[in-house]
Amino acid sequence: MILRNPEVKKDISMPPQTQSSSSTPKVAAAASHVNVSPLDAYNIQVNGVVYSAAELAKDHPGGEMFVHAFAGRDASEAFLSYHRKAFPHDKMTFAAVGTAKPNKPADRDEEYLELCRIVEKVLPRNASFATTGYFIKIFAILALTFSLEGYIHYTHSYFWYFSAIMGFLYALIGLNIQHDANHGSLSRNPFVNRIFGYTQNYIGGSAIDWIHQHVVQHHVETNDVHHDPDIAGGTVLRINPLKKVLTHYRLQHIYVFIVIGMFGFSTVVTSCRALINGIRFTPFSKMVTNYRYAELSSYLFFAFRWVYLPLFRGVEEGGVLSWSSLVSTAPLYMVAGYYLAFFFIISHNFRGVSFFDSSSKNALGERGSFLRNQVMSSSNVAGAFLGFCNGGLNYQIEHHLFPRICNTHYPTIAPLVRSYCLSKGITYKHFPTVLENFISCSNHLFDMSTAGMEVIRL
């Protein structure tokens, strides 16, 4: 079923021509393969075929880590969206270990593949990565950040206004650098992506935790009421229509834009805890255990820079612990966290957004169209200038459809995506201004606080 905001009247999650029959890709020597259910922790399912994750990783152009992160899961839609083509089962028989029931018929995503072919004519896959100009922008952000942080530590200038500026620069790193790098869209070279992806660790997070939470879960299961960690909301927010309505949620459309100021603090703590426990909403793949343990060291480096150095400033000068200096670093977390959280929350929470239930996507229990599910659960706001500042993440529709296209190309392909969606009767939500998006988000949060959601069964 689909859970939808009441503003949406028409069900368009399934392509009109979709057939209910299932189909399994033909794999050489498939008769010798066994049915694999449930998935082994070291295997990956793509459509109706189960592969050894270790074998696929050896042949993956985006690097082994991405394949390892999906071990034990169905990666059909992840491959589709990252490679913009159907999986080449006939070329991957060396890695096949069995078969399993596919989550949906092979023809369910024909619309998406048709859109990919349209985009390909304007932006070929080999031209989808960052441009020289974008790398200049990256190095400029990093140079400003490293210079200011170095000055703060060297001169012991732990003042709130410097911390606030650092927070904004950290937000720019999160939006413009680590995000594309950890999606594999900065460069076709996986080593380049990994290096820049570690800027997530530099700003207090974890690259592998972000990939597990964002790439493996959120992007594949966007607004799925059972599987998207981004709509969990904790005890503070009700942004999942299945969550029980509590009295304090009636004010969430007001207080949410205050409490997100704590997002920066919580990110540092929850990411570290996730690496230790091996779980963020769902367990990490067993094949990324080494990545998890290795990245724990980055928290020692972060704590040294932003806890030890400010706190022990007074001791070095022959005095006592400088608690005031430590407190003065708080704006770093607050500004970075607020800027990131604000644009994240408005992109998938607005009047007209759809929520999905993968336990019953339709009468056959099959998943719906990837194209329609992503467009119906995302929105765009403003234009190219905000995209320049925010790493293109104001183009959430294009980003969710094509996560391996560098954000600098989103303004180019957005008109194509919009035109195609409208031609298929798919609502394409674009807010001309941030204010309009903010108002719609606030109204949606108020609607959610009163459980006013319509349930449509397919």
- Domain residues of the chain, as ranges? 1-21+109-458, 30-103
Pairing outcome for strands 34-35 and 96-99: parallel
- For the cut 70, the answer to whether the pLDDT of residue 97 exceeds it is yes
The pLDDT, as a whole number, for residue 316 is 60
The pLDDT, as a whole number, for residue 15 is 61
Residue 39's pLDDT band (boundaries 50, 70, 90)? confident
CA gap 318, 149 in Å, rounded: 23
Asked if 363 contacts 378 with a C-beta cutoff of 8 angstroms, the reply is no
Of the CATH numbers 3.10.20.340, 3.40.50.300, 3.10.120.10, 1.10.40.30, which one belongs to the domain with range 30-103?
A: 3.10.120.10
Q: Is 99 or 401 the better-scoring residue by pLDDT?
A: 401
Of the candidates 385, 71, 353, the one whose C-alpha atom is nearest the C-alpha of residue 228 is: 353
The pLDDT, as a whole number, for residue 453 is 52
- For the cut 80, the answer to whether the pLDDT of residue 424 exceeds it is yes
- For the cut 80, the answer to whether the pLDDT of residue 176 exceeds it is yes
pLDDT average, residue stretch 60-69: 92
**Most confident segment among 37-41, 121-125, 321-325:** 121-125
- For the cut 90, the answer to whether the pLDDT of residue 210 exceeds it is yes
pLDDT average, residue stretch 320-343: 91
Residue 430's pLDDT band (boundaries 50, 70, 90)? very high
